[in-house]
Amino acid sequence: MLFIEANRTALVLAPMEGVMDAPMRALIADLGGFDFGVSEFVRVGQSVITAKQILHEIPDLNGPVFGSAKLPLQLQLLGDSPELLAGTAIEACIAGARAIDINFGCPAPTILRRSGGASLLRNPKAITEIIRSVRDALPSVIPVSAKIRLGWEDPNDVDGIAQAVQEGGANWITIHARTKQEGYRPGVHWDAVARVRSRLSIPVVANGDLFTAEDVARCEAETGCTHFMIGRGILKNPFLAHDVRASRALHALREDIPLQLDDRLRISIERYAAITDDQAANAGFVPSRVKQWIRMVRDISDSVPHQVLTAVKKARTTSELLNLMHGS
């Protein structure tokens, strides 16, 4: 599925710059549980990005390049020019994109200095113009969505921003329930998301601090949302989407999925190595990527297995990583 339907729950894999790339998406596709994912953003600066350039940046746009499991992928664009974004969206469709998302939430200083991402939250009119330009450039069968934060510093600004997204013709909106100034500090404003959801006619996808199935249930209870984008939570628990589906009685938890988070993380690292090692550019690729993965897990949790930490610190090759994880 690459379309949000009002009467069908969607679990969406979030874009996470620097970690959720083609190899990592291949792992998540292999583990299963998500309806589709959103790519890391393609930045549109001074010129239209061509189909060839897009496929170079997002090689799994049309299907897996690591492993064989498929995860439908929505292409995310970032920029501030309605014309260049529309032109790039056309090129994206030539490259095979079946849905386009526009990033209005990235808080990175390098992006803000170039008037992209969250900087546009202060200009709802520009948001409408960008979405309308992209929407008008594409066939109606290609969905266009937007990902926003609640505002620059005031969560109440989300009402006008979300309305601007809808007026531009977006098919749905994803809301990260923090402001730009709040970054990723603990605590989200589900009340603001609930208010927006009740006022919009397009579907709302909730995002932010969804680390467990209980978090998702709490989000649904407080916002009324039935669509969820999950990001950092998947790094700690790569089987999280299955937990959510089981808790919502969408399907039973598979018997082959371990119950303990430590076991889930170890198994996921092993699968990641198996999927990516043959096509890795060098012997140290898998250990370096796993090290980055575990570093992000430690930013949100202290519960990383000691043996995994030791392996990640010492390993220089995939075989060393796996041997150390098994204590050999």
Catalytic residues: 106
Q: What is the 3-state secondary structure (H, E, C) of 80-121?
A: CCHHHHHHHHHHHHHHCCCCEEEEECCCCHHHHCCCCHHHHH
User: For residues 79 and 85, is the Cβ–Cβ distance under 8 A?
Assistant: yes
Residue 161, C-beta contacts closer than 8 angstroms, at least 6 positions apart? 104, 121, 124, 127, 148, 150, 151
Which of these, 255, 274, 270, 257, lies nearest to 305 by C-alpha position? Answer: 270
Which among 172, 186, 150 has a CA at the least distance from the CA of 10? 172
DSSP assignment letter at 1: -
Which residues, in sequence order, are CB contacts of 144 under 8 Å at separation 6+? 89, 99, 100, 101, 102, 131, 134, 135, 138, 169, 170, 171
Contact between 57 and 266 under an 8 Å Cβ cutoff? The reply is no
Pick the closest to residue 256 from 31, 25, 26, 11 (CA basis): 31
Structure tokens belonging to residue 169: 């013709």
Helices and strands, counts by H and E, the chain: 14, 9
